[in-house]
Structure 1
Amino acid sequence: MFALFHYLKRLYKIFKPPVAPKSTDALRFGILGAANIAPMALIIPARSHPDVIVAAVAARDSTKAEAFAKKYGIPVVHKTYDDLIADPTIDCIYNPLPNGLHYEWTLKALKAGKHVLLEKPSVSNATEAKSLFRHPILSEPDAPVLLEAFHYRFHPAWQFFLTLFKPEDVEEVDVQNHLMAGVFPHHDIRFNYSLAGGTLMDFGTYAVNSVRQIFGSEPSTIKSATYRPMPDGHDKQIDQAIYATYEFPNGGTAKIECDLQSRGGYWFPWLTKNWPRLNAFLPTLSVKLRPTEESVVNGLRKSTRKMIVFHNYMGPMFYHRMDIITTTEFSGESVKSEKKIQYEKVYKWSKSNGGKKGEEWWATYRYQLEEFVNWVRGRKDHGVWVDGEDSIRQMEMIDQTYLKSGLPLRPTSKAVDGDM
């Protein structure tokens, strides 16, 4: 009963965190668009951060912007994105616009001297990524901070997970990201090619990023990539689901399966194949390590292999579990096998982890916001980060996957040629 109470209390504080008194020099954020992700990604985490104030918003639909501002207590509503970026009282811009608009409005914000927290995927393709993250403005003295918001990487659970193995020992990785059919309608922006949509650009970008993190390198080759297209009457340049297999320099392989319209998976498939899939709703990845062998007494040999399964790696603040499965075989005249399973959950930094701040109820986004503020304040080596070259390599891998699957790259913004 106590465990349930503790769990519910933690969930409550994720959505209703204590409001921190604001410092006199708190960073003032402006939000581009009234996106559904903005409350979870910035507005709610900002409430508990003493150095963050969400001060303004702008949206193409002024009525929507006014309603959004009223609902979330945002004091200023600008008529246009340009007006928001030009506001001299705004220090930072949060950009959760559709993917195809990321490049243009992020660069405008950077040129206006604003720090930018940019939703993933950072841009539409690798051409945009190179143009943005290698832009001269980011190399100038006192350059603004730019971060691609891979929030899951900032949570202690993910960082603990990475300590459980060495990248060179990884043999196989399998990533399964499924969202039941019907959550997003077929006309959602995620399925709009002109706005750089597609499942690989949404659920898939987490899968690609996670395998890059696990192997600590880029794939040497893409062995296969296929996709399920949108149904008839919808854009055939869009991947409703994506499947890919990568090989890495250490000889290991990674498989990803990402589906934003997941169906079936039940008994009697002739009847249930079109039912929304509910039994795979937690994004899950597994890592199989190479076996280790050693000689033991009496001519026996000992072989040990580990597998680590991370349930809900994308949203560990709500619930997660790491299953560390160790299988040991003793072989000689006969074979004896033993299996042990260890379970781990991590919601805050350990006391020995460099004095990093955190609470059990902090969401991935709150941990991310903490580090974003640290970088803006000049505390650049304080914790986890996603640098520009990492974001470029991320988009290169997505591009290569699309080409391997036979789909076109997402379109490049006209702003790249003009550089605004």
Structure 2
Amino acid sequence: MAAIIGFVNRVWNLNYPPEPTKKDGAIRIGLLGASGIAPSAVIQPAKSHPEVIIAAVAARDVKKAEAYAKKHGIPIVHKSYQDLIDDPAIDAIYIGLPNGLHYEWALKSLKAGKHVLLEKPSVSNAAEANSLFRHELLKQPNAPVLLEAFHPLFTPAWHLYLSLLDPPNIAWAHAVLPVPSILLGYDDIRYAYNLAGGALMDCGTYCALFLRKMFGTEPVECIEATPTLPPEPWDQKCDQVMLAKWRFPNGGIGSIDANLSNPVLKSKLPWCQAIHKEKVVQDESLSEGKEHVVIRTIVGNMVIQPVVWHRVDIKEQHTIRTIADKKVLKTWTTTDYKKAYTWEEFDGKKLGEDWWISYRWMLEEFVNKIKGRQGSGAWMSHEDSIHQMEMIDSGYVKASMAIRPSHTFQ
């Protein structure tokens, strides 16, 4: 019964969050683009944050921006992106523009002294990531905060999952993120090469990030990448599906299944899995000449957006065998399940609420960083964002596809 009550409470507060009075000194955020992702990523989360105000929006089409502002209760509409950035009343910029525009507008925002919450993927390729995240502006005292918006990294559920892994001893890891085919047409910006589209750039970038975090290091090389392209006459430089594998320093293999058009009748939940190398465990009940080995598998179900439901499965395959010839004498499997809707469930920290969506956890840390507070400690560092794009580029190179094009803005 408690689980059912908790579920109902989370769903209710997720859709109808409490709206506390805004504090003095609240961060005023301006939105670049009347994007479809902003309501989930920042507009709704801001309602329950006492130190965040969504203050303005700008879009290429002013009428569209005005309609968007009316719908979402945004008080100011600027006539252009630059006008919004130049507004002295704006403290931070949320960039939910197409991928190919991220670099230019993130850099312009930073040069204007604004903090930046930058949708993933941060930029179009590793060269742009290196230029942006290692820019001299970010090395100055009191530099603006720049954060790539990889929201799953900020949830207690994700950190619970990572805490159960033994990265040096992972033999194989896999991450799957399917997008139902009914959600995207081939005319969507995700299928536009010039805007840095593609499955690996979209759902695949989450999968790549999960592998990097699961192994706790960077891959040595991409050993396999197989794209499926959209049907002609649609953009043949974009991947509709990407299956890829990377080798990591410990010899382990990480693989992804990124699909922008997963058949509805074959729907599956996003998940990731780590299978550890076989490990000999102490077992004093065994007679001489026998050994007890365990293979541990950790599965994360819905860790990308765990607020409504998620589950971490801990499976251990046990084997008793002879040491000399490895003859199997006995096998059995144990399974345990864990979850963490709050940090308190995971490590005792009294932070946040169980109904917070992953974007709300991220917004909390973005504000904490700006305000100079410690917070949960979850973060996506600048070097992390660079390595992320290096991994993405390596996938396209292995697939014999062009790396997404750079922007000329400096």
Deviation at 1:2, TM superposition (A): 5.2
Seen in structure 2, the aligned counterparts of structure 1 residues 334 and 129 have a Cα distance that, compared at 3 Å, is closer
Cα distance in 1 for partners of 2:374, 2:398 equals 37
| Alpha-carbon distance, 1:4 to partner | 3.0
Determine the C-alpha separation between the residues in 1 that align with 2:265 and 2:219.
31
Q: Within 1, Cα distance between the matches of 2:271 and 2:53? A: 34
Name the CA shift for 1:3/1:189 in 2 (closer, same or farther; >3 Å).
same
Do residues 316 (structure 1) and 316 (structure 2) align?
no
Name the structure 2 match of 1:330. Answer: 320
Distance change (3 Å), C-alpha of 1:354 and 1:383: farther
Per the TM alignment, residue 19 of structure 1 is displaced from its structure 2 partner at its CA by 0.3
- Deviation at residue 255 of structure 1 after TM alignment: 0.9
Within 1, Cα distance between the matches of 2:387 and 2:99? 17
Q: How far 1:15 moved relative to its partner?
A: 2.2
For 1:268-320, what per-residue CA distance to the aligned partner results, in whole angstroms no more than 9, with x for missing partners?
A: xxxxxxxx34431x111111011111464313210111101111121111221
Counterpart residue type for residue 357 of structure 2: A
Matches within 5 A, 1:18-29: 18-29=18-29
Partner of 1:397: 391
The percent identity for this pair of structures is 46
Residue equivalent to 1:271? none
The residue identity in structure 1 corresponding to 2:138 is: L
**Deviation of the 1:99 alpha carbon:** 0.2
Structure 1: distance between partners of 2:378 and 2:21:
25
Contact 1:95 1:118 in 2 (8 A): yes
Structure 2 residue 367 is the aligned partner of structure 1 residue 407: no
Per-residue deviation, 1:353: 4.0
Normalised to the residue count of structure 1, the TM-score between the two structures is 0.93
The equivalent of 2:201 in structure 1 is: 201
| Match status 1:307 vs 2:300 | no
Q: CA deviation at 1:245?
A: 0.8
- What is the aligned counterpart of 2:287 among 285, 290, 298? 298
- Could you tell me whether the CA contact under 8 Å between 1:356 and 1:383 is conserved in 2? no
Deviations 1:160-218 (A, max 9, x none): 11110221011110112112222100000000111000000100000000100011111
1:230 CA displacement: 1.0
Residues 353-394 of structure 1 deviation map (CA, whole Å, 9 limit, x = unaligned)? 474521100111111011101110112575111111110010
Listed as ranges, the matches of 1:100-115 within 5 Å are 100-115=100-115
Q: Which of 264, 267, 289 is matched with 1:279 structurally? A: 267
**Preserved CA contact (<8 Å) 1:374 1:382:** no
Q: Hey, what's the Cα distance between the residues in 1 that align with 2:124 and 2:333?
A: 45
SS in 1 for 2:74: coil
Q: Residues of 2 paired with 1:193 and 1:158: CA distance?
A: 31
How many residues in Structure 1 have an aligned counterpart in Structure 2? Answer: 403
Tell me the SS of whatever aligns to 2:351.
coil
- The reply on whether 1:348 has 2:342 as its aligned counterpart is yes
> Distance in 2 between the 1:133 and 1:210 partners?
20
- By how many angstroms is 1:9 displaced? 2.3
What amino acid is the match of 1:147?
L
Asked if structure 1 preserves the Cα contact closer than 8 Å seen for 2:119 and 2:148, the reply is yes
> For the residues of structure 2 that align with 1:262 and 1:24, how far apart are their CA atoms?
46
Give the letter aligned to residue 23 of structure 2.
S
Task: Give the aligned residue type for 2:342.
Answer: K
Query: In 2, Cα distance between the equivalents of 1:382 and 1:324?
Result: 25
* Rounded Cα–Cα distance in structure 2 between residues aligned with 1:355 and 1:229: 46
Report how far residue 352 of structure 1 moved: 7.9
AA matched with 1:310: G
Q: Does 1:230 find its partner at 2:230?
A: yes
The letter for the 2-side match of 1:279 is S
Unaligned residue ranges in structure 2 (runs of 5+): none
Match of 1:39 in 2: 39
Residue 362 of structure 1 is aligned with which of 331, 356, 361?
356
Deviations 1:75-128 (A, max 9, x none): 111111011001110000000100000011111110110000000000000111
Does the 8 A contact of 2:340 with 2:346 survive in 1?
Answer: no
For normalisation by structure 2, the TM-score amounts to 0.95
The gaps in structure 1 that reach 5 residues or longer are 264-275
Shift of residue 8 of structure 1?
2.4
TM-superposition CA deviations, 1:39-80 (whole Å, max 9, x none): 111011111111101110011111111111111111111111
Cα distance in 2, alignment partners of residues 154 and 203 from structure 1? 18
C-alpha distance in 2 between matches for 1:16 and 1:277:
31
Cα distance in 2 between the residues matched to 1:356 and 1:294: 35
Q: Is the 8 A contact 2:165 2:298 kept in 1?
A: no
Counterpart-to-counterpart distance in 2, 1:349 and 1:294: 31
Distance 1:57 1:287, change over 3 A: same
Asked whether the 8 Å contact 2:120–2:148 carries over to 1, the reply is yes
Q: Residue 59 of structure 1 aligns with which residue? A: 59
**2:124 matched residue in structure 1:** 124
Tell me, in whole angstroms, the C-alpha distance in 1 between the residues paired with 2:294 and 2:185.
47
SS at match of 2:174: strand
> Is the Cα–Cα contact under 8 Å of residues 365 and 375 in structure 2 kept in the other structure?
no
- Separation in structure 2 between the aligned mates of residue 53 and residue 193 of structure 1, nearest angstrom: 34
